[in-house]
Amino acid sequence: MLPFKKIVWPTDFSEAAYEGLKIARELATQFAAEILLVHVVAPMPTMYGGDAPTGFHIPSVLEEFQKSAQKSLDDIRREKIPADIEARTFVIAGRPAHEIVTLAAQEKADIIVISTQGESGWQRFVFGSVAENVVRHAECPVLTVRAPNAEQD
């Protein structure tokens, strides 16, 4: 397991996610590891019938989300990853937990560093937890990082 050579850092671009990046950078520095920055664009829910919103083309909207995510990941790589740390970016469309686990397996990652949002009660019931599902399904170790201001259960 040690030393880590590939670290997956998934992000939703929240402040909580950047707490995980701090840890991923520390590990990458300590072990001369590569960081794989990944953002998953979740599928858009669609509605049919008379009440469905009109005026946009879903594939075009998804393409714009992906372009925006790629720009954001490129900015993070340039601004928050030291030049001596190798890093690659991935923008993937799909279900976040599934795609994070799949990427980690395909890249033979040594660890996933993922932040938790501190969701509790109905939020966790309704939305589930990406971090929780990644922990359950990943083949490699997963380090969860709780955001400092996350609400306590």
Domains of the chain: 6-146 (3.40.50.620)
Angle of helix 130-137 relative to helix 96-106, nearest 10 degrees?
A: 40
CA distance 8 to 111: 6
User: What pLDDT score was predicted for residue 47?
Assistant: 57
User: Whole-model pTM?
Assistant: 0.84
Omega cis (within 30) before 3? yes
Segment 47-68, tens digit of pLDDT: 555 565 555 666 777 888 899 9
Segment 67-96, tens digit of pLDDT: 999 999 999 999 999 999 999 999 999 999
Q: What is the mean pLDDT of residues 108-126?
A: 73
Segment 25-46, tens digit of pLDDT: 999 999 999 999 999 998 766 6
2: left (phi over 0), alpha (psi -120 to 50) or beta: beta
Q: Is residue 129's pLDDT more than 90?
A: no
Mean of per-residue pLDDT scores for the chain: 86
Of 123, 151, 116, the C-alpha closest to 16 is: 116
CA distance 122 to 5: 38
